[in-house]
Structures are given as C-alpha cells and as structure tokens.
Structure 1
Amino acid sequence: MKRGRLSYRTFKYTRTEAVSSWCHHNGKIISGAMRGYGYSLPPALLMMLTICGVRIGWIYTAFAAVPTFFIIMLSYPISWAVTVVLLLVIYRFYCRNLTVPRRG
C-alpha cells in the first residue's frame, strides 16, 4: 500500500470515530439528565427505536446501494446523531414542563 492512501484511510476512520464518540456520549448525558428529572421511559424508548430503526433502515438502503465495510460502520454515527437530535427535542419539551416543588 502507498503511504498517502493509508494515512487518508486512517484519517477518515479517525474522523468518523470522533464524531460518533461525541454523539454517543452526548446522548448518554442527555438521557441521564432526563432520568435524573424522573423521566426514564421516554429516553429509553427513543434511544431503542431510533438507534435500531436507523441502523436497520441504513442497512436496507445505503448498504444495499454501496456494500462496503465503511458504509456499515457509518451507520453508528448516523444513528447516534439522529438520536441526539431527537433527545434534545424531548429534553426541551420535558424541561419546559418541569415544576419546582415548593418547600413549606
């Protein structure tokens, strides 16, 4: 293999891993915050449905069009990114409906 090609491939996988790691960890933080507020079921169901649904849909569409290992691995950051966006939406919804208990 040529040196330039190997370094580009390594860069491509490293960049993909960095984005997927960021999305994955932020999704865990948001769902953990919601569990702390007392809403454990909505983030659990959302994570299960979006992660599995996006990956299955990705395999049947994108992987069917371009059957490479990289396309399969790309399903991880894409599913986590979709999950983080939807988690932010329900997080904002539930945060608006929080009530502060009064001490008295």
Structure 2
Amino acid sequence: MAKKVSSSRSFWQDIKAASTIIAVMATQDLIVPGASHLQLSPTLAINEAVESVQAQGKKVVHLGFGEATFPIQKDVLEIHEHYSRSTSYMPVAGLMSLRQ
C-alpha cells in the first residue's frame, strides 16, 4: 500500500527530497557503481529557480510542469468531460471525417 504524502509538504518539496536522496546515494555509489556523475534534472533546477524568485516576493507565472496556477475555462472542461467518456480505440486507418 502506498504511503500517503503529508499534506504539510508540497509536491515539489517531496521531489526535491527524493532528488537529494538519489544524489547522496549516487555519490556514495550505492545505486550503481559510477553513478556519481548524475546531475539534478533541468526541470527541477528550473523549479528551484522559480521558488527562489517567488521567495523574493516577485510574481511568477510558472508555465512549467506541474499544477496550473490559473483556472481552466469552463468550455474546455465541458469538452474534456464529454470526450473523456469515450475510452475505445480509434480505427487503425483514422477517423473517416478527418481522412476526407
């Protein structure tokens, strides 16, 4: 059974903690001998930079990976809801309406 993540920690704090553990283990060659050359993911580095700028009180519109910081438009949600009910495979040749 998966352990529930504490709600007092953010997703990114958990990711950074995991990254730190991996970096320490790689440095000590506990995972794979020679793994000490592994570096922090560029995506995580960007997230750290964003957090640093936000900590300075500056507003950031973060368009990277993760949770959206703005609401999704109602029409987009309705279209998503409608099409999410269709779970079958499409024809191998594609949709006839798009092929014509």
TM-score, structure 1 length as denominator?
A: 0.29
Q: Compare the two structures and name the one with the higher helix fraction.
A: 1
Larger relative contact order (Cα-Cα within 8 Å, sequence gap ≥ 6): 1
TM-score, structure 2 length as denominator?
A: 0.30
